[in-house]
Amino acid sequence: MRDTRNFRMPNGAELVGRPGKSVRIQVSVPSDGDGFFGRQCPDCSLIFRMDMQQYKALPDDLTLWCVYCGYHAEHSNFLTQQQRKRLIQAAGNYGMQKISRRLGKALLREQGVFTRNWVDTVENVVGVVEALASSLFHAAVPDAGTLVRGKGAIFQRLDPMADLLVDAGFPDLRPVLGQERWQRLLTTWAARHVFTHNDGIVDDKYLAKVPNSSVRAGQRLVLTEGVCRQAIEDTKALCEALVDALG
C-alpha cells in the first residue's frame, strides 16, 4: 500500500486500501440539506431517501428493503445512477493513473535487460486491466457478483471479459478497439501466459491465440522494444474503452 496516498482522486473519493489484488475505493455520498441521501432500487428503479446519520450507524453488510416493491439485497446494490457514475469515474480515474505510472516505470527501465522488463510489463498490464475492469464492472452492474460467479479470473481473459460486458448490456469492446488492435491485445495476453506459466516457452495454447505467429511450439518467445511499446499503447486504449463502456 506504499503509494496509496500519491494518487489524485476526484472530490469525495478516497482510496482506502489495496488488499491483495483488488482495489478499494471509497466514494462519499453527499446528503441533501436535510441530511438525507438517495437510494435507488436495482429492481424497480424507484428512488427513496434515507437519513444519513441513521444509515451511517448501521452495519456494513446491511440488507436494504425497497420501500416500493419489497426487493431486498445488500445495501451497496442500491446506488443511484448518479452515485454509480461517481464511483465509476473514481475507479476509472484511479485505473488510468495506475496504468500510466506502471507503464511509465516500465519504459524508464528499458535500458536494462529488455526481455525481463517486457515480462514485468506484460504482467503489469494484465494485472492493471484486471483490477480496473473488475472494479468498473462491479461499480456499474448491481448484480455483478452473480454474473461473474463460477467464471474464474474472467477479467484476466479478454474475450470472456468482452462477452461478459455484452451479456450485461454494455458495448462490445472488440469493434470499439478494432480487429487489429484486439488481436495484438490477445497476443500480449497470450505472451503473459507463456511467461507466467511456461517459462517463456511457446506452447500450443499460445499458438491457438496467435495463429499467425512465426514461432513454433518449444521455442523461446522473444520480445522487442517495438512490440512492448505497442502493447502499452494498446493497453491504454483498452483501459479507455473500458472506462467509456462502463462509465
Which stretches of the chain bind Zn ion, using CB under 5 A? 41, 43-44, 66, 68-69, 71
Nearer to Zn ion, 72 or 229 (CB): 72
Nearer to Zn ion, 47 or 107 (CB): 47
Residue 51: CB minimum distance to Zn ion, A: 19
Residue 103, classified by CB atoms within 10 Å of its CB into exposed (0-12), middle (13-18) or buried (19+), is buried
Residue 215: CB minimum distance to Zn ion, A: 55
Instruction: Determine phi and psi for 96, rounding to 5 degrees.
Output: -65, -40
CA–CA dist 90, 136 (Å, integer) = 9
Residue 34: CB minimum distance to Zn ion, A: 22
The most distant pair of C-alpha atoms in the chain lies apart, rounded to whole Å, by: 68
Q: Of 40, 48, 123, 143, which Cα lies nearest the Cα of 85?
A: 40
Residue 29: CB minimum distance to Zn ion, A: 19
Nearer to Zn ion, 11 or 146 (CB): 146
Q: What is the CA radius of gyration of the chain?
A: 21
Nearer to Zn ion, 39 or 174 (CB): 39
At 224 the three-state DSSP class reads coil
Instruction: Determine phi and psi for 120, rounding to 5 degrees.
Output: -60, -40
